[in-house]
Amino acid sequence: MHHLFGQRISTMVCLSGLFVVFAVQTVGGAALKQEASLENSATLLNHSMALVQRMEALLALGNGSDVTLRIQTVSTDEVKVIQAHSLVLTLQSDVFDELLQMRNSSNLVLRESAECASVFDKFIRYLYCGDISVRPDQAIALHRLASKYHIWALQQGLTRYMAQHLSSDSPTGHVVSWYQYAVQTGDTTLRDSCLQYLSWNLSSVLQSAEWRSISDELLLSLMQRSDLVLQSELELYEALEAWISQNQPPDMTAESALRAVRYGMIPPQHLFRLQKQSPLMLKYYESVRDLLFLTFQFHAASPVQLAKYFDVNCSLFMPRNYLSSAWGSPWVINNPTRDDRSFSFQTQLGPSGHDASKRVTWNALFSPRWLPLSVRSTYSEHGSMQPTRTDGGQPRIIITPATSSPDFAGVSFQKTVIVAARQQGKVVVRHVYNFHQSTEETGDFLADADLQRRTSEYLIDSSLYLHIIVKPIYHSLIIAKK
């Protein structure tokens, strides 16, 4: 009894310390209104760091503790014990408030998953100190705890953390598990950020251990997307093969995934090999036979000819964002604000066997500060004042064929510019812009890039890292005829 009483006293001492701080601030606030001039000469003595350290010590030593948290790991007999203070827990969480009111003894038993139990110390420390250090692999468990105990500021902080740390290094990868968690909790913003990250960085994801852990649902939704950034469709097929042999999904899933491969984008010599040697293809051949047949027809003649005789409307002939050299080229622009830059590169006329060996030369022109005509005419109307180097204007790229050719009939060449940036030390795709001839069409090309600043997040060592892709689209094959 005496011992308990002693603990109570030390809690009170610590608390009255807290109240003094609050009281001084309240008086200071009132005085500010009345005697603003006097207050201006006041100096802030700030010892909040020391207060935080004391709170941390209070938790670590457990002095004056009036509640013992017993954290039981679900379906094990592991128990973690933390000496806590009901006042602090109640101050932060209405859930703790209710649990503490209901308890019968000085113990409070909490049941948590192994994942959550392993970060419970960190979580409680946050309640005492208001700061927390987070690793990518701890974010979900902490988010779960913050949600369960209604620590809303922590929950929001973690949501923001996840959105900003998709590219962080972690030994086993974390974006796939964050995606699953976002789906589970209905956080559509996080879900979409994860999906976009996975789509835009698919090549690295395909090679990581994470790829094998992708769920059926995520696999199928990735396979549908046209904005995947990867080397080639063959790379995707091979990754799918690895995934299926690892996960042994139901036939339905394997068949849907196989039917989402865009066989038209794979050169015939590779298709022959798949058809004869890929165990996956041999097993499910019947379910993709029609797509392969259509693909070989596509490779046999000009796509325009094919469209004359067959009504087709499918994604089979729709390119994704392929990085391999047949489809485009990287373009690194040093000191992009200095002046206009031009660049030439070649692509195949089209993916069909009939066109793949025909080359098209493209000229690309980058202007760092291009002004739309309408803006330029306002300048001339208002006298001689010309825009200065840094005045207005926005980056623009135009891409035009070096020569025209009758082969271009029936094809529309869609251009895609991929802008890479560095995040957490890694190069990641920051933006993907699609347009026909000029980035003016997108309206927001590099709109927030602020290329004038050497520290712009869009620059890597003062250079702009672009990759240009040219995608031949045969509308007659994709948009069905009447």
Which residues lie near ligand NAG (CB under 6 A)? 10, 44, 46, 48-49, 61, 63, 102-104, 167, 201, 203-204, 229, 313, 420, 426-429, 480
Comparison of 61 and 91: residue with beta carbon closer to ligand NAG? 61
Closest contact distance (angstroms) between CB of 235 and ligand NAG is 12
Spatial separation of the C-alpha atoms in residues 477 and 111, rounded to whole Å: 58
Closest contact distance (angstroms) between CB of 261 and ligand NAG is 15
In 3-state terms, what secondary structure has residue 416?
strand
Residues paired with residue 299 on neighbouring β-strands, in sequence order: none
CB atoms within 10 A of CB 12: 11
Comparison of 306 and 349: residue with beta carbon closer to ligand NAG? 306
| Burial of 371 per CB tally in 10 Å (0-12, 13-18, 19+) | middle
Comparison of 162 and 229: residue with beta carbon closer to ligand NAG? 229
Closest contact distance (angstroms) between CB of 348 and ligand NAG is 20
Comparison of 28 and 279: residue with beta carbon closer to ligand NAG? 28
Comparison of 123 and 317: residue with beta carbon closer to ligand NAG? 317
Comparison of 63 and 253: residue with beta carbon closer to ligand NAG? 63
Closest contact distance (angstroms) between CB of 403 and ligand NAG is 30
Closest contact distance (angstroms) between CB of 44 and ligand NAG is 6
**Rounded to 5°, angle at Cα 5 from 4 and 8:** 90
Q: Could you tell me the two tokens for 262?
A: 């865009």
Closest contact distance (angstroms) between CB of 313 and ligand NAG is 4
Contact 433, 445 (CB under 8 A): yes
Comparison of 201 and 329: residue with beta carbon closer to ligand NAG? 201
Closest contact distance (angstroms) between CB of 273 and ligand NAG is 26
Q: DSSP character for 292?
A: H
Comparison of 167 and 329: residue with beta carbon closer to ligand NAG? 167
Instruction: List, in order, residues 6 or more apart from 3 with CB less than 8 Å away.
Output: none
Query: How far apart are the two ends of the chain, measured CA to CA in Å?
Result: 90
Comparison of 373 and 479: residue with beta carbon closer to ligand NAG? 479
| Burial of 374 per CB tally in 10 Å (0-12, 13-18, 19+) | exposed
Contact 246, 212 (CB under 8 A): yes
Contact 324, 470 (CB under 8 A): no
Please report the beta strands in 287-358, taking only residues with DSSP state E, as ranges in sequence order: 321-322, 328-334, 341-348
Side-chain-side CA neighbours of residue 252 (13 Å): 2
Closest contact distance (angstroms) between CB of 293 and ligand NAG is 19
Helix axes 216-223, 233-247, angle to 10 degrees: 170
DSSP, residue by residue, 108-160? EEEEE-HHHHHTHHHHHHHHHHS-----GGGHHHHHHHHHHTT-HHHHHHHHH
Closest contact distance (angstroms) between CB of 164 and ligand NAG is 13
Closest contact distance (angstroms) between CB of 55 and ligand NAG is 11
Comparison of 389 and 481: residue with beta carbon closer to ligand NAG? 481
